[in-house]
Structure formats: structure tokens, C-alpha cells
Amino acid sequence: DAGVIQSPRHEVTEMGQEVTLRCKLISGHNSLFWYRQTMMRGLELLIYFNNNVPIDDSGMPEDRFSAKMPNASFSTLKIQPSEPRDSAVYFCASSLTGNQPQHFGDGTRLSIL
């Protein structure tokens, strides 16, 4: 079975540009999580969805960040406009039910110049 698929694997762009990160959940999973990893702050939960509904977005750093689930198997995380301090590895993870472990994608390394 295919795991969580994230794209792109690497993204380099200039400050001020819009960035869109993509995530395909494992088939049948109903929970979706976005995390950010930096040296300074470690791994942080940004937002998560259950059954396509955003449950907690308190980790989203600013209004420049937005996340959507247009359908049950796909999610996007958008940053507009991007800033150098947004540079990080962004992970998407999905899980099946409440007590099942989360499966992570390989992450997107984002560099904002």
C-alpha cells in the first residue's frame, strides 16, 4: 500500500512568493495532520483535520498560512506571502481512527530566499 505522499520534496523560492505544499493521505484514513520542523522549535503541530473538518488550527503561525482538504484524500498547505523565517521541513501525517498511530510522509524541505 502507498504511504502518505507529499509533494514537492524540495521547494526553493523567493520571499513574497506563494507556496503550496501538497499531501495525499493513505486510502481510508480520516485524520490529517500538518507539522513543521525547525532546528529552533523542533516539531510543531500546525493544524489537523478529522473527517475533512479542521479541528485545531492554533498552531498555524500567522494568517499567511492556510490549509484545506478539498476532498477526503488530499490536503494543501499554502503560505502567502512567504518569508525567510518560513524555511523548514513540513510534514503531513494521516491516521485511520482515534487510537491508531500516525503515518508520516517524507516531508517537504522549504527554503525561502
Question: What does the block give as the cell for 98?
Answer: 482515534
Task: Using the minimum distance from each CB to other proteins, give the nearer residue, 59 or 66.
Answer: 59
Could you say whether residue 107 binds other proteins (CB under 8 A)? yes
Direct distance between the N- and C-terminal alpha carbons of the chain, in angstroms, rounded to an integer: 37
Going by their DSSP bridges, the two strands 108-112 and 10-13 should be labelled as parallel
Task: Looking at residues 65 to 94 of the shown chain, list those that interact with other proteins (rule: CB under 8 A).
Answer: 89, 91, 93
Distance from the Cα of residue 90 to its chain's centroid: 6
Q: What is the nearest approach in angstroms of other proteins to the Cβ of residue 71? A: 16
The secondary structure element, H or E, covering residue 68 is strand 65-71
Closest Cα to residue 31, out of 102, 110, 91? 102
Residue of 2, 14, 53, 63 interacting with other proteins (CB under 8 A):
53
Q: Give the binding range for other proteins (CB under 8 A) out of 11-19, 30-38, 63-71, 75-83.
A: 30-38
Residues that bind other proteins (CB under 8 A): 30-31, 33, 35, 42-45, 48-51, 53, 55-56, 59, 89, 91, 93, 95, 97-104, 106-107, 109
